[in-house]
Each structure stands twice: as structure tokens, then as C-alpha cells.
Amino acid sequence: MSTRGSELTFAKYRERQAYHWREASLHPIHGWPYTRSRMAWVARQCATSRSILEIGCGDGALLARMAREGTTVVGVDLEETAVELATRMFAQRGLRGEFFTDLKAVEGRRFDTVVLAEVIEHLHDAEAMLARVVGLLSAPGRLVLTTPIRLLERSLDVHHVHEFWPDELRALVGRYFESVETVRMHPAWLIDLMCLGIGRIRPVAVLANLVRLCTGVELLDRLGSPLSIYWTQGIVAANARRERRA
């Protein structure tokens, strides 16, 4: 892991290469239901967008879903290896997309939607990022965001600078957008079960992959209840405020 400016970058792409593409697959062993479900939710929120910017795009696996529909996609990630992987994976599949290592590369451009998927929890200054997002959106503009729900006073992930309580994040995003819709996803108990295993073999995750492959049903999307503690919060924010509300 290294730092650039105030944000964290990771060695995971050098070590694991384009692992999000494997996790998003239906492979019984390598597929990861959490990644697949989260990406599918983001893609649904972006279905009507003609142009999408993903900040923290990683290896490009999420943007590939939108690129296949003919959407103009641009990705930015601090990790050079991630950008190289995204560029290569798109080229191998005949997909069109642009990838950069610095947000300055897209200054002056405007997008229908900006995506922050599992990014905001890594930032030292989330407000500064939201302000930049507003400046990159065409009117009315939409932000699609996912992040882990804060479950404890201290995060168990050492790479997370700050995890948000749902009301806390909604209030923060509401300073920059007039409309903020939230959703809670992925029962924590089921994710815990899916993580259990030996080596790469995680029996519950394998079962979920086989169910998805054979029936089209994603168990993570079906087994929640009003009493569940959820792992992920998603936000769809629209109508960017050009002047931040105090």
C-alpha cells in the first residue's frame, strides 16, 4: 500500500491482477456474490445514463457492464496498475472506454452520472470529493454511491479512513444534492457465511454461485428482511446543488 496526496492506493492490483472481473463472473469458485450483486445494483441505477464517470474504477469490471450497452464510460483510479488492467481488459473484449490516473484529466468535461463504488470510505476528505463530483456533472446530474454500513465504532478494515452511519452519509450527500435516495443491501450474516471456507473454497459462496448460474437468482438480493443487519448502503443522488447547502 502507498499514498498519493491524501488518498490511499493499494498494491492489490499488482498482486491479484484484474480480480474484480473474476469476482463478477459466474465461476463456481472465483465468482463472489457480493461483488456481482453490488455491481448489478450500480448498473441498474445507471441504465438511462449516456455518459458515466467512475472515480476509483479499479480494473474496469463495473464500467464494462455499462460499456456493453453502448454508454460512454470513463474511469479514473490512482493506481496505475489498475488503469493498465482496465485498458487491457476493455481492449481484449472490444469495449470502448477511457481510463486515467488523475481526475485532472477530465476537468472541463461533464457526465450524466458519476459513480463512487466502495470509494468514499477510503477518503480523508469526503466533502472535497463530493464538491468535485458536482463540478463534473451535467444538469441535473446524478451520483451513484455504494459503501459499507458502519457497524462498529471502529472499522475492521485498516484501509477504511471513515465508515458512515446511514443517516450521517445521507446528510453529507444532501449538502450537495437536492434529492437523495438510500437503500440497504446484502445481509451481513449471509456475507459472513459466504466468507467461511478453506483456501479458495467457500461452500456457501459456491452454492450461491451455482444458484445464480442455474436459476438466475442472486441469493444476496433475496434473503434480507426488515430485521436484518445489512452490510452495504447505496445512494442515488440527483439534482446537484451548484452552491453547497450548510
Residuewise pLDDT in 10s, the chain (246 residues): 333 433 455 678 888 899 999 999 999 999 999 999 999 999 999 999 999 999 999 999 999 999 999 999 999 999 999 999 999 999 999 999 999 999 999 999 999 999 999 999 999 999 999 999 999 999 889 999 999 988 766 666 677 888 999 999 999 999 999 999 999 999 989 999 999 998 888 999 999 999 999 999 999 998 877 667 888 999 999 998 866 655
Judge whether 178 lies within some domain: yes
> What CATH number is attached to the domain comprising 121?
3.40.50.150
Say how far apart CA 72 and CA 52 lie, in whole Å. Answer: 6
Say how far apart CA 96 and CA 9 lie, in whole Å. Answer: 25
Say how far apart CA 115 and CA 119 lie, in whole Å. Answer: 9
Res 6: pLDDT: 38
Judge whether 246 lies within some domain: no
SS3 assignment, position 40:
helix
SS3 assignment, position 244:
coil
103: which 3 cell numbers? 481526475
User: What separation, in Å, do the N-terminal and C-terminal C-alpha atoms of the chain show?
Assistant: 35
The residue segments making up the domain with residue 195 are 2-240
Judge whether 142 lies within some domain: yes
Judge whether 73 lies within some domain: yes
**Number of domains observed in the structure of the chain:** 1
Q: Under 8 Å CB-to-CB from 64, ≥6 apart: which residues? A: 21, 89, 90, 93, 95, 97
Judge whether 245 lies within some domain: no
Distances (CA, A) of 166 to 31, 108, 172, 182: 28, 32, 10, 8
Res 4: pLDDT: 43
Judge whether 195 lies within some domain: yes
Judge whether 166 lies within some domain: yes
Give the distance from CA 188 to its chain's centroid: 18
Burial of 104 (0-12, 13-18, 19+ CB in 10 A): exposed
Buried/exposed code over 148-179 (b: 16+ C-beta within 10 A; e: otherwise):
bbbeeeeeeeeebbebbebeebbebbeebbee
My answer on whether omega of the bond before 140 falls inside 30° of 0, hence cis, is yes
The CA radius of gyration of the chain, in Å to the nearest whole number, is: 18
Judge whether 52 lies within some domain: yes
